[in-house]
Structure 1
């Protein structure tokens, strides 16, 4: 499938050969697919460039140094906006996100182009228990920060963003460049009044033997998320009258089945 307004954007950092499988699956589902290599040192930039040389539907952007997922996404969004794209489906390079659901996510976005389309993860039995339970706190805080704005899962990075509003949100502040990107982007876009569509999709955690890679550091990144939620709660309090007014006027968030 293809559309002149929508592209798939995959940030990648040291994900090994798994990124090639992710890209192949994404390309089977959509055109075009862009990969932003975020300063990888594992040689995957060369592998991806070789793949792009044989596939006009694949573009590879290589950043000189690692700056974080959000920074890589922002770089890709600015490039995409410059070429006339209005929406980007962002997915991880590590194989967790289901490429066979790209079409459904894009269709939901095309039906409601003003909306933020969020994947709502369905976890399998292999999902780490601590990760599944731990995200409940972040999801509860996101619900508080948006006064029930309808964010089904603030941490799941498989989602379709309207490019213009996201660039505007990220360009005004220095945050949202690393693991704080996914939850803060969803909350701040809700604050801007974007409606939310939650679309249930399966989520797969790959083992190390299957090529699974995680760069999440429990100490460092939980501190980052704690600071993020602190500033978002403070921001919610400052916006409370406007958020209450918006909540009264907004339609109920949609969850396609």
Structure 2
């Protein structure tokens, strides 16, 4: 497999146990290079991943000394990747829920549309937790309102490809987007910057604990975080409404003009 000089796979990981090894192996079978940011894990997976990387030139492991949150782990990886000349990063979770077999399709879509934001839209199986499936509809509605219905297919699904420079700049411009609020706020803020979302369906799988599934989602804490995030984004949306409206009108005129 020829290593990409522009696109990496970036996997933030925190205490997911053996699932992270399956995820990394699946990602490596599809792409080179793959980077893992170990976000202060205490389950021994960081050390094991470092040993894996010793025998795999396409795998790089970055270890943070303490848990800082998904967004912080991603930002750490983005800074390192940009410094090495990479322009885009596909992010995926380390718990095995995201479809590694679609990595190439997502990366090709990004390569063909380098100024776009390639968003995975989850396709749920019948056994997906109803509370999780139903709850994300609320966040999706708010995210689309905050972008003047800018076309965000799903605001919470973390399987997506970002232009690195734009995402890093958006994150460094504020001190939010560091934990569970990362995925939806990243999508909204990049749409504010004018990036066009391209939505691609992707199956998602939820593993039961007996299957090795690990979830750090806390219903009350994380929903409170999302509520505060959407409150902030709505204030930002109101301030940007004239610009978003102008872009929408301009785009409509361009699409309707004769060629």
- TM class by shorter chain equals over 0.9
Query: What 5-or-longer segments of structure 1 have no aligned partner?
Result: 252-257
Q: Which residue number in structure 2 is paired with residue 3 of structure 1?
A: 4
Larger Cα-atom Rg: 2
Residue 61 in 1 paired to residue 62 in 2? yes
Alpha-carbon distance in 1 for matches of 2:250, 2:6: 29
Q: Which residue number in structure 2 is paired with residue 169 of structure 1?
A: 170
Residue 26 in 1 paired to residue 31 in 2? no
Residue 110 in 1 paired to residue 111 in 2? yes
Alpha-carbon distance in 2 for matches of 1:211, 1:107: 31
Alpha-carbon distance in 1 for matches of 2:251, 2:167: 20
Counterparts of residues 70-89 of structure 1 (less than 5 Å) = 70-89=71-90
Counterparts of residues 138-157 of structure 1 (less than 5 Å) = 138-157=139-158
Q: Which residue number in structure 2 is paired with residue 159 of structure 1?
A: 160
Residue 201 in 1 paired to residue 196 in 2? no
TM-aligned CA deviation for residue 250 of structure 1: 3.3
TM-aligned CA deviation for residue 67 of structure 1: 0.2
Report runs of 4+ in structure 1 exceeding 6 Å deviation.
Answer: none
TM-score by length of 2: 0.96
Alpha-carbon distance in 1 for matches of 2:190, 2:223: 22
Q: Which residue number in structure 1 is paired with residue 255 of structure 2?
A: none
Task: Report Cα offsets for 1:100-154 as digits up to 9, x if no partner.
Answer: 0000000100000000000011001121001000100000001100001000000
Q: Which residue number in structure 1 is paired with residue 128 of structure 2?
A: 127
Cα RMSD (Å) of the superposition?
Answer: 0.8
Alpha-carbon distance in 2 for matches of 1:95, 1:209: 14
Aligned-partner SS, 1:41 = coil
Alpha-carbon distance in 1 for matches of 2:212, 2:153: 28
Q: Which residue number in structure 2 is paired with residue 94 of structure 1?
A: 95
Alpha-carbon distance in 1 for matches of 2:208, 2:250: 45
Aligned length: 251
TM-aligned CA deviation for residue 249 of structure 1: 2.5
Query: What 5-or-longer segments of structure 2 have no aligned partner?
Result: 253-259
Alpha-carbon distance in 2 for matches of 1:60, 1:168: 23
Q: Which residue number in structure 1 is paired with residue 15 of structure 2?
A: 14
TM-score by length of 1: 0.96
Alpha-carbon distance in 2 for matches of 1:139, 1:249: 25
Alpha-carbon distance in 1 for matches of 2:248, 2:195: 12
Task: Report Cα offsets for 1:17-49 as digits up to 9, x if no partner.
Answer: 110000000000000000000000000011101
Alpha-carbon distance in 1 for matches of 2:113, 2:96: 27
Q: Which residue number in structure 1 is paired with residue 220 of structure 2?
A: 219
Aligned-partner SS, 1:104 = helix
